Amino acid sequence: MAINRNVATTHVSMLKRITADKRAATAPLRHAATRRAKTFISQLFIYSILLSLAFVFIYPVLFIFSKSLMQAGDVTDATVNWIPKQLSFANYAYAFQQLDFWRSFMNSTVISLGSAVVQVVSCAVVGYGFARFRFPGRGLWLALVLFTFLVPPQTIIVPLFLQFSDLGWLNTYLPFIVPGLFGHGLKGALFVLIFIQFFSKLPSQLEEAALIDGAGAFRTFRSIMFPLARPAMLVVFLFSIVWHWTDTYEPSMYLMEPQKFNMTQQLSKMDGEGNGEGAKQLAVTKSVIGEPPTKVNRVMAGALLSILPILALYLFTQRYFVESVERTGIAGD
């Protein structure tokens, strides 16, 4: 297939025609039939690798889904592997109530959506400043953005915790949203870098035209550059939602009251931790003991419920996740 394409493009340039002639001279040695067989086998090979890899990637979904539909009897029954003997949604009803679904859904949504919105705006503003202005100290601040990205949260967690505690922000959404307002927060530095990449690729004539038309720097940003940044905004928005939703670290530091728990916290404290994991239990989950251990089916129903909202989001926006990363040029180094 690749060779055919090559032959087709050879008509374009003289240089290529010469090599094509060379290849044509050796072509009779290789029969077309064996060549076709070869490409067929290599295609077969590639697809089989891809399919087996895809299985590994879908495996957790299948596992969660199948276990979540099982009854207690099916879980221990060795003859039941994937398909439960009878269909029942009792686990979901149980998990729904255990997770305190609507409340934790609201908590998670406010945290994820709120942080995502403020991060999109603030990181875009900051990214624009870095991408389009040359000022003394720019290199230093850029290095500090990278530094911020690389500092482990473990290092600064104690002062941050005390700081938020002094401000009375524990058990509120503020520790998640306010750092986002300043272009920080969960992976904030990465989002700033994404916007820097994106804005520095836009043509500078856009701003020059706006300047000639009498727009100031902020007006230019607000009415021209910001709307143009939609692909980058989409990436940042979606990633911010997903990462905030699945993050277990910050919520477990800042949210201690069960009423304020988000989805992942409710899931962590659900029963059936089992397998010696209990030793590593955190203070947050430690208070909740009781319920017999290893109820795989119920826990998996809970797991599915806890990610259902972002799974739904992903199903609808999958293209944007995958394609917009290319369009924004995160990879531009």
Tell me if 254 contacts other proteins by CB under 8 A.
Answer: no
Residue 116 found at the interface with other proteins (CB under 8 A): no
Instruction: Indicate whether 159 belongs to the interface with other proteins (CB under 8 A).
Output: yes
Of the residues 92, 226, 314, 320, which one makes contact with other proteins according to CB under 8 A: 314
Residues 6+ apart with CB under 8 A from 37: none
Query: Which stretch in 25-33, 46-54, 201-209, 226-234 sits in contact with other proteins by CB under 8 A?
Result: 46-54
Task: Show the tokens assigned to 208.
Answer: 């020059």
Under the binding rule (CB under 8 A), the answer on residue 208 touching other proteins is no
Q: Footprint of other proteins on residues 210-229 (CB under 8 A)?
A: 216-218, 221
The gap from C-alpha 237 to its chain's centroid, in whole angstroms, comes to 10
Whether 63 and 300 have beta carbons less than 8 Å apart is answered as: yes
Residue choice 77, 141, 227, 230 for contact with other proteins (CB under 8 A)? 141
Sole residue written with tokens 């008509």: 11
Q: Specify whether the CB–CB gap between 196 and 143 falls below 8 A.
A: no
Contacts (Cβ under 8 Å, ≥6 apart) of 233: 120, 124
Read off the tokens for 279. Answer: 């030793």
- Dihedral sign for Cα atoms in the order 259, 261, 263, 267: negative
Nearer to other proteins, 91 or 252 (CB): 252
Closer to other proteins at the Cβ: 72 or 325?
A: 325
160 lines the binding site for other proteins (CB under 8 A): yes
Interface with other proteins includes 114 (CB under 8 A)?
A: no
Q: Which of 69, 210, 234, 242 binds other proteins (CB under 8 A)?
A: 242
Q: Compare residues 106 and 143 and give the one whose CB is closer to other proteins.
A: 143
111 vs 105: CA distance, rounded Å: 10
Contacts of 321 (CB under 8 A, 6+ apart): 235, 238, 239, 314
User: Which of the stretches 9-17, 33-41, 89-97, 100-108 binds other proteins when contact is defined by CB under 8 A?
Assistant: 9-17
One of 95, 145, 232, 255 touching other proteins (CB under 8 A): 145
Site residues (CB under 8 A) for other proteins, limited to 59-98: 59-61, 63-64, 67
